[in-house]
Amino acid sequence: MVASYEIWGPANETNFKNNAHQAQTVDIRRLALEDLPTDIDIVVGSPPCTQFSFSNRGGGGDLADGLKDIIRFLSIVDHLKPRMWAMENVPRVAKIIEKEMKLGGALADFAHLGCVTHVVDMAEYGIPQRRRRCIAGNFDIGLLESFKPGSDAPTLGDVVKALGAEQIIDPIYGLQLERADLIDHVEEDLLSSEEVRINRANKMTHTVYNAMPFPDPMDRTVRTITATCTRVSRESIVIAAPEQDQAYRRLTLRERACLQGFPITFQFYGANYGQKLRMIGNAVPPAFSFLMGRVLQGCGAEASPSLREASRELKRPKPIPAETPPDRAGARYPANRTFKFAIPSLQLKSGVRFELDNDCSGAVVDWRVSFYFGTSKAIHSIVLDEGIRGRLSLEVSSALQKAVNPVLEQLSRFVEDADIANMQTVWTHQGPGGIRPFMLLDMLDDFGSSLMTAIEAHAEEAPKIIESIIRYQHGAAASSLPGLGKLSRNAETILAGLLVGSTVNPLLRAHAQRSLEQEFRAAG
């Protein structure tokens, strides 16, 4: 290694201590080309993917800004004229490069570099993670593919088990360490029941994104390790803690590092847990970088040592960094903590949903059921209020009314009697209250299912009612709204949701109104 450049100090310190590379802490956008070394054979880079990643504003990042780093990297390649070069980024960048390399594109000046793009899944190269990435460069993909191992990559379960043993044997590299010598492997507090609930909901019944399993399956490679993950985020990988029933935990830093292809001897010099998390998640998996290094030197699998052979001499660097305590469960949350979860029985795929949420923008918190439909590009909502309730009463036949009214009366009684006024206090962990929002959500879910059963015998009425409600709310624009076909095909579910929402919302509003009056009285 002749030189390397990185803007973030802790990453450079980590690189230096582990690899003895003197990484320079510089902003690559400001680096003068004349300051680069000469006579270089290989250039590799991994420009930031933040602007291209779908986890950044659902893919709505600033592409032009992201391209600046790619242009910078390609300018360096163009200036140094190495024999071989390669660049890593998220899969989406493959298409962007192909498009922008064409005449008139933002990368057209680099077309002569002979760039090819490939999207690889790191799990196919022996890494225990299904990490799909775009690798671009002037290398031979055939050589890279020669490394696809005959045997499967370790699974999440293999990694957790290996790191839990007394004598630890690295599941990728075969290196050995005593348990006492393995740092960053501190199991954090188990997730609280509320955190489990949020985690489960974010994964299995997310209001917009596709469902994913909870907990993460142990018998497969793991999904993508990210640079951030809170105790409740969708990105966080959560496993069952075998000691207790229904107990779950996030992965330790060391488990994440191992799943990201770092050898167990590698140490992370971050000042806190978050910095180490970021360092691990940002990395190009070292186990994959090793293979790329061989490819860039013109060697395929046959002419290369195995990872186990190549890593035999790896030792832990010194000094060993300090342990960094993991995040704890939030003790208290801000008074305006948001709640926004879909009611599972009333949720269709692709964002059509009824959800319970809280509007914290006013003097008191307003809990309500909202209805969203349309397509991912054009989401519409319907305000479920007395107006809709009245309209539904007019549209629903007396036979159907007879079937649904007992359920709706029970639902009304439940909401009328519930301690809604203190629900936000409970949700923010600031005090006691009679009902938690997830309890209300579960009740709405149950009542939703009961209503669907009640509607079943009158299913033929449902599509007509839905159509009329949409027309009532959206007027002349109704027929051109996207996603109406889907509502019609699922009319029984939608009707159940409209009935639930328009029944409970006026009651929830009345609770909020009473709270407001009480506050005024208390303020004198």
Ligand X SMILES: C[S@@+](CC[C@H](N)C(=O)[O-])C[C@H]1O[C@@H](n2cnc3c(N)ncnc32)[C@H](O)[C@@H]1O
Rounded to a whole number of angstroms, the CA Rg of the chain reads 28
Stretch that binds ligand X, among 263-271, 278-286, 340-348, 488-496 (CB under 6 A): 278-286
Binding mask 232-271 for ligand X (x = CB under 6 A): ----------------------------------------
Shortest distance, CB of residue 263 to ligand X, whole angstroms?
14
Cross-strand partners of 134: 89, 119
What's the min distance (Å) between Cβ of 7 and ligand X?
4
Beta bridge partners of 45: 87
Per CB under 6 A, 28 contacts ligand X: yes
Q: What span, in angstroms and rounded, lies between the C-alpha atoms of 419 and 438?
A: 13
In angstroms, give the least distance from the CB of 311 to ligand X: 17
Q: How far apart are CA 158 and CA 170, in angstroms?
A: 10
Stretch that binds ligand X, among 157-165, 168-176, 276-284, 325-333 (CB under 6 A): 276-284
Question: Among 231-239, 279-287, 379-387, 496-504, which window interacts with ligand X (CB under 6 A)?
Answer: 279-287
Among 153, 198, 284, 408, binds ligand X (CB under 6 A): 284
Q: Which is nearest to 202 in space by CA: 344, 378, 332, 326?
A: 344
Among 9, 27, 204, 298, binds ligand X (CB under 6 A): 27
339, amino acid identity:
F
Instruction: Give CA–CA dist 393/385, Å, rounded.
Output: 13
Query: Using the rule CB under 6 A, is 282 a contact of ligand X?
Result: yes
- When binding is defined by CB under 6 A, the residue of 13, 36, 48, 389 that contacts ligand X is 48
Q: In angstroms, give the least distance from the CB of 502 to ligand X.
A: 48
Residue 171 dihedral angles phi and psi, to the nearest 5°: -70, -15
Closer Cβ to ligand X, 46 or 505, answer by number:
46
Q: Which is nearer to ligand X, 15 or 358 (CB)?
A: 15
Whichever of 282 and 488 has its CB closer to ligand X, that residue is 282
Among 11, 237, 253, 382, binds ligand X (CB under 6 A): 11
**Whole-angstrom distance, CA of residue 175 vs CA of residue 311:** 8
User: Could you tell me the smallest distance in angstroms from the CB atom of residue 116 to ligand X?
Assistant: 20
Judged by beta carbon, residue 121 or residue 467, the one nearer ligand X is: 121
Instruction: Rank residues 73 and 373 by Cβ distance to ligand X and give the closer one.
Output: 73
**Site membership for ligand X, residue 8 (CB under 6 A):** yes
First to last CA, the chain: 73
Instruction: HSE, CB side, 13 Å, CA atoms: give it for residue 435.
Output: 16
Q: Which residues within the stretch 435-474 sit at the binding site for ligand X (CB under 6 A)?
A: none
Q: How far apart are CA 104 and CA 109, in angstroms?
A: 9
Residues 88 and 288: their CA atoms lie apart, in Å, by 11
Least distance from ligand X to the Cβ atom of residue 304, Å = 20
Q: Which two tokens stand for residue 317?
A: 């660097």
Q: Which stretch binds ligand X (CB under 6 A): 45-53, 193-201, 290-298, 359-367?
A: 45-53
Backbone angles phi, psi at 238, to 5 degrees: -120, 135
Q: 453, 357 in Cβ contact below 8 A?
A: no
Biggest CA pair distance of the chain: 86
Give the integer Cα–Cα distance in Å for 125 and 102: 31
CB of 264 to ligand X, least distance (A): 18
- For 132, phi then psi, to 5°, come to -95, 130
12, 46, 155, 505: which one binds ligand X (CB under 6 A) = 46
Rounded CA separation 23/275 (Å): 18
Write out the binding residues for ligand X, residues 357-396 only, by CB under 6 A: none
Q: Considering only residues 134-193, where is the footprint of ligand X by CB under 6 A?
A: none
Size of the site for ligand X (CB under 6 A): 14
Residues at the contact surface with ligand X, assessed by CB under 6 A:
5-8, 11, 27-29, 46, 48-49, 282-284
